[in-house]
Structure 1
Amino acid sequence: MRASGVYTFHREMSPVYHQDFKEWELTDMVVWVTGASSGIGEELAYQLSKLGISLVLSARRVHELERVKRKCLENGNLKEKDILILPLDLTNRSSHEMATKAVLQEFGRIDILVNNGGVSQRALCVDTSLDVFKELIELNYLGTVSLTKCVLPHMIERKQGKIVTVNSMVGIIAAPLSTGYCASKHALRGFFNTLRSELATYPGITISNICPGPVQSNIVKNALTEEVTKPTGSTADQSYKMATSRCVRLMLVAMANDLKEVWISDQPFLLMIYLWQYMPTLAWWLTNKAAKRRIENFKSGVDADSSYFRSVKKKHD
């Protein structure tokens, strides 16, 4: 489904996207994935490893990256020399230039940068320390911008490359309990949409914003709360969320086809993006109505995500 240059994927499209996946468009490329130690980044590494590419895996947890690498070698089509483990802290911006040079030294080029690293948030704005907002901007926004700026000159010199950023549905809409996270994702969308316009004279360089809805991962478990040192640690049910493997498969469709922006979600969550795009007044009314219940659940100690989203999905089904 396409709307105003924006591609959207949902469950009803499953018979179609296999036909749209030109996997040969991604073979023989050097792909650098941040946040590769878990969730979407980890699954992306597994699916890319089957396509005959060179893979750079980055995150802060080296032992988890090694685990992902081993699984890529066991189940993919890559050899030891095809995978580079490159520890990276997105908040340590002074290290990004050296990291970029390390990739170029190892493989000679960077064809695709996948900006996937980041952290979410679950807390009321009024209770949240300013340090949490700072951490979200430093990691999700400035860290991603910094690494992109280090890689971009290389792509401009070659006049080709793909910059793929895993944003979020909440980079488009609003989500209560995630003020800092939403702000950082809105900032990313604005940055990369503007960067795309600045690169209009380089048609070989493509910018893709990937905006998933609820996806099965540890993003809520690792989300910040009202304090930086206090993650949620949530182990709530995620059955209502899209499977990570399917989300990543659709991401590969977007990457292979150089799509500018992609909304990936099951219904009814995808509908909310459409409402925000075309019927904002109604979207505000529904968001405010949903916010009251979500905040009530949160204050009473009930998992705000699973309790609310399960009920919404049940009504839709």
Structure 2
Amino acid sequence: MMDLLYLIFLFMLTWFVIAMVMIVLGDCDLLLQIAEKFGKSPSSLKNKVVWITGSSSGIGECLAYELSKVGCKLILSARRKDELERVKGQCIEKWGVKADDILVVPLDMVEFDTHAAAVEKVINKFGQVDILVNNAGRSQRAEWIKTSLEVDQQVLNVNVLGVLSLTKLVLPYMIKRNEGHIVNMSSIAGKIGAPFSGSYTGAKHAIQGWFDALRIEVLENNIAVTNLCPGPVFSNLLDIAFVGEAGKVLKQKMEPTDKRMKTTRCAELSAIAIANKLDECWIALNPVLFLTYANQYSPVLGKFVGKKFGLKIMKRLREGR
């Protein structure tokens, strides 16, 4: 009996050490690391019809490239049609995708009354949507007390209500086919409170809750729900971020020396998570990844560490500095 207990203890200790090493050296959570090594590759998504919102730049653009090179059929949406056409052209030029396999659908996430027509256009073209990637969104930078209620509403409209609006229109088609996959670009800010980004943090927490509930409801319809949670990533996110006053944007550029994940790597990991239909993934460099683990599995410890770090350090971590 003692030998059995010793073996169990030894096994648990070994797994703990291996897990800690993987977390410290990794750039994503353990399950995604395992999926990258032993799971399905994005090539398993060949011929899937994938709708990516916010695909004119940043993670959405890079994800479009990742999926086009494995043979997915794409719907590209964002507000800037000329940038969407540029991304489409890159997919055709670099990966040999047929022009007819990529549909450009300009879309503003806050113009809810235009979403039905966009969905109809997509269905008329492809007949279905296998994977909806809700990637469009905008960040926010301002003190909590100095952020107007109008900005709070605008952030929620873009990052939450726009996502719900489009998903509620696409979901019935998936339910009818008894197959589908909803993917949301959440954030580590959806797991941990990010100072000077209260509105954005609240919006991403809302996405987590809304779609965690949906995941259970559509399980019997063979529909998967994945929440992707990136940490600091290189993009144009700060250039168009909301501030505390309505009508203004941050217009801040990221520095090449920032400790941020490359956009291409984030898109690569996102594609792997989608291929393996993972429920939730954390995609971040350390110490952000480690802090996310602490906050998830020992909330008291995570919050204690966050307070001990203090405002300045937490702000630097959020900005990759």
Fold-level similarity (TM above 0.5): yes
Aligned to 1:103: 122
Kindly state the Cα deviation for residue 153 of structure 1 after the two structures are TM-superposed. 0.2
Kindly state the Cα deviation for residue 90 of structure 1 after the two structures are TM-superposed. 0.7
Contact 2:234–2:254 (CA<8 Å) still a contact in 1? no
What's the % identity of the aligned pairs? 42
Q: Distance in 1 between matches of 2:69 and 2:182?
A: 21
Distance change >3 Å, CA 42–CA 308, structure 1 → 2: closer
- Whichever residue aligns with residue 128 of structure 2, its letter is R
Secondary structure class of the residue paired with 1:25:
helix
Aligned to 1:218: 236
Secondary structure class of the residue paired with 2:225:
strand
Aligned to 1:254: 273
Q: Distance in 2 between matches of 1:291 and 1:222?
A: 27
Q: Distance in 1 between matches of 2:151 and 2:70?
A: 38
- Whichever residue aligns with residue 178 of structure 2, its letter is K
Contact 2:155–2:199 (CA<8 Å) still a contact in 1? yes
For 1:32-181, what aligned pairs fall within 5 Å after superposition? 32-181=51-200
Contact 2:229–2:281 (CA<8 Å) still a contact in 1? yes
Secondary structure class of the residue paired with 1:201:
helix
Contact 2:194–2:318 (CA<8 Å) still a contact in 1? no
Q: Distance in 2 between matches of 1:246 and 1:99?
A: 30
Identify the structure with the greater helix proportion.
Answer: 2
Distance change >3 Å, CA 18–CA 279, structure 1 → 2: closer
1:209 matches 2:227: yes
The correspondence for 2:303, drawn from 266, 274, 284, is: 284
Q: Distance in 2 between matches of 1:40 and 1:309?
A: 17
Aligned to 2:4: none
Kindly state the Cα deviation for residue 25 of structure 1 after the two structures are TM-superposed. 2.1
1:24 matches 2:40: no
Kindly state the Cα deviation for residue 194 of structure 1 after the two structures are TM-superposed. 0.2
Aligned to 1:236: 254
Aligned to 1:190: 209
Q: Distance in 1 between matches of 2:139 and 2:275?
A: 27
- Whichever residue aligns with residue 10 of structure 1, its letter is G
Superposed CA deviations along residues 34-62 of structure 1, whole A, max 9, x for unmatched, are 00011000101111111112110000111
Aligned to 1:315: none
Q: Distance in 1 between matches of 2:46 and 2:97?
A: 12
Aligned to 2:286: 267
Secondary structure class of the residue paired with 1:184:
helix
Distance change >3 Å, CA 197–CA 308, structure 1 → 2: closer
Kindly state the Cα deviation for residue 170 of structure 1 after the two structures are TM-superposed. 0.6
Larger Rg computed on CA atoms: 2
- TM-score norm. by structure 2 comes to 0.87
Q: Distance in 1 between matches of 2:178 and 2:133?
A: 18
Structure 2 stretches lacking a partner, 5+ long: 1-14, 17-22
For 1:284-303, what aligned pairs fall within 5 Å after superposition? 284-293=303-312
Distance change >3 Å, CA 136–CA 62, structure 1 → 2: same
- TM-score norm. by structure 1 comes to 0.88
1:10 matches 2:26: yes
Distance change >3 Å, CA 220–CA 159, structure 1 → 2: same
RMSD: 2.4
- Whichever residue aligns with residue 169 of structure 1, its letter is I
Q: Distance in 1 between matches of 2:299 and 2:229?
A: 18
Distance change >3 Å, CA 307–CA 259, structure 1 → 2: closer
Distance change >3 Å, CA 180–CA 307, structure 1 → 2: closer
Superposed CA deviations along residues 256-314 of structure 1, whole A, max 9, x for unmatched, are 1111111111111101111111222222233234442259xxxxxxxx5479642xxxx
Distance change >3 Å, CA 26–CA 307, structure 1 → 2: closer
Kindly state the Cα deviation for residue 228 of structure 1 after the two structures are TM-superposed. 2.8
Secondary structure class of the residue paired with 1:141:
helix
Secondary structure class of the residue paired with 2:220:
coil
Q: Distance in 1 between matches of 2:148 and 2:27?
A: 39
Contact 1:51–1:77 (CA<8 Å) still a contact in 2? no
